[in-house]
Every structure is written in C-alpha cells, then in structure tokens.
Amino acid sequence: MACAKKGGDAVRPYTRSSDMADTSIKEPFWSPARHLDKLSIVLFFAAWEAAPRLGGIVETFIAPPSLVLKTLVELFRQGEMLGHVTISLSRAVSGFGVAALVAIPLGFLLGGGFRTFERLVAPVLRFLGQVNPFSLFSLFVLLFGIGEFSKGAMIFWVSLWPILFNTINGVKSIDPLLVKSARSMGTGLTTLFFKVILPAASPGIFHGLKLGSGTAFFMLIAAEMIGASRGLGWLVWNAQINFQMPQLFAATVLISVLGLSLNFTFGALEEKLTGWRRKSAGES
C-alpha cells in the first residue's frame, strides 16, 4: 500500500473509545486471568452453600443452593412451574412486543420528520416516561380491569419509553452526510429508509430494546406480585406469605436466570446486527 496508515483519522463517527477496550488480545486458555469471572461465581455459590452449614445463618431464612436446586427440580416435576414460566413470559412478550411496535415507528416519526413537534412534546414525554405505573395501579385496574390486560398494559407502559427515547436519539444522530451521499445517487425514499436510515439508527433502537426488555421483565414480577393468581411473581408472593423459603429462593433464582438469558439474547442479537460498531482496526 502506497498509502500508509497515518493521519486523517479524526473522523470516527460510530466508534466510541470505550468500544475499543474489548478488543484487547485474549489471554491463553490456561491463564488464570481468563477465568477470574467464572471463579467469582463459583466462590459465591460455595460461600452461600457453606454459610448455613457452618452456622451463623439460619437455614430457615437463607436456603442453601443445593436445597434451592432440589426445590426447583421438584416444582418442575410437579408440572406447575412450566405453567408459571409460560404465563409470565407470554405477558412480558406481548406487552413488550406491542410497545416495540408502537415505539419504533413513533420514534422514527418524532426523530425524523417531525422534529419541531418532537421538541414541543419532548418534556411531556420525558415526564410520562418517569411515571411509575405501580403508583397508578388502581387507575390501571380501573381502566383495564383486573385481568391480563391491565398487566399487559403496565408492561407496555414501562417498556415503551426506553424504546421510544432511544429510537428518537438513534434517528436524530444519523450523519446527514450519509443521507446526502445516498440521495446523490438518486436513491428513492423507500430505499433510503431501508438501506440507510434504518441501519444507521439500529444501534439506538437496539439499545432501547435491550433496556426495554430488562425493564419489562423486572416490572412483570412486581405486577404479578400485586395482582395475579399465576406466574413467577405470584409464586414468589405465595412462598412469601406461606413462609416457604426454599420455594421463594427457587423462584427468585429462576427469575434471575431468565432475566440473564433475556439480556444475553438481546446482547447476541445486537452484536450480530450492529457488530460493525464494535469491530476495531486491530483485528485481522
């Protein structure tokens, strides 16, 4: 190459310096540094298991992991658990799904075509985004009844805002030069949207979806604890009033695992679809 890698690198619109951190050279497999994170979780469970046995912590309050696992397996074997998981997940997915279907197009409209209008309504939207549906629980029940719909509406409400705000930001932060360059090639509006605007805004949208899914799952458990007769939140609440600590822990652990896998799924999807943001110059 006649043109060496020097200078002219001032413009790096899609690469924040923090993104460069995760491209450090990997330690070899046998290196202890590579397993530091796994070690911490093993130690954590070991300490948890040991504490009630060594005394100091009463087993009635803190159930050891072995007992939690046993309870969990039993709950699944009884066949009830799967029903709770299914109903919880279907509530979360439907509320979150509708929120995404509403928030993403709305975000494109507000962040793209109607910017003056967006400036006008932004403060109101920010305020509404901070409204906690649990403080208005009675209102939700009044409006949507006590059934599935009111729980769905609450999930919808909490996941709507992060998706909406991040979509607006994603659309607003599109480099106008990209649009100009595409338009100069005579790109039609539909093609411009699918080939330029949508991919350029996708990091923002994905960030919003990830945040929204976390919030949706978190709030789902709370909603089920307040008013439900089935679901993981109800299971926690039921164990609590019956003072069944192993069951309480079993449900909590399952919720954490589900939350983690949700996060992992969205992270993997984000990496696959918008990985061009992260890949760095050091590779190859």
Helix, coil or strand: residue 92: helix
Contact between 161 and 128 under an 8 Å Cβ cutoff? The reply is yes
- For position 194 contacting another protein by CB under 8 A, the verdict is no
> What are the two backbone dihedrals, phi and then psi, of residue 135, each rounded to the nearest 5 degrees?
-70, -20
Which of 45, 183, 256, 267 touches another protein by CB under 8 A? 183
Burial label for 105, CB within 10 Å (0-12, 13-18, 19+), is exposed
In the block, tokens 């909603």 appear at 223
- For position 12 contacting another protein by CB under 8 A, the verdict is yes
Q: What share of the chain is helix, strand, coil (3-state, %, to 5)?
A: 75, 0, 25
Cβ closest to another protein, residue 196 vs residue 239: 196
- For position 21 contacting another protein by CB under 8 A, the verdict is no
Cβ closest to another protein, residue 172 vs residue 277: 277
- For position 3 contacting another protein by CB under 8 A, the verdict is yes
- For position 97 contacting another protein by CB under 8 A, the verdict is no
- For position 58 contacting another protein by CB under 8 A, the verdict is no
CB of 17 to another protein, least distance (A): 12
- For position 200 contacting another protein by CB under 8 A, the verdict is yes
CB of 110 to another protein, least distance (A): 23
Contact between 167 and 205 under an 8 Å Cβ cutoff? The reply is yes
- Smallest CA-to-CA distance from 169 within 110, 124, 215 is with 110
Contacts with another protein, residue ranges (CB under 8 A): 1-15, 175, 177-178, 180-187, 191, 195-196, 199-200, 202, 274, 276-277, 279-281, 283-284
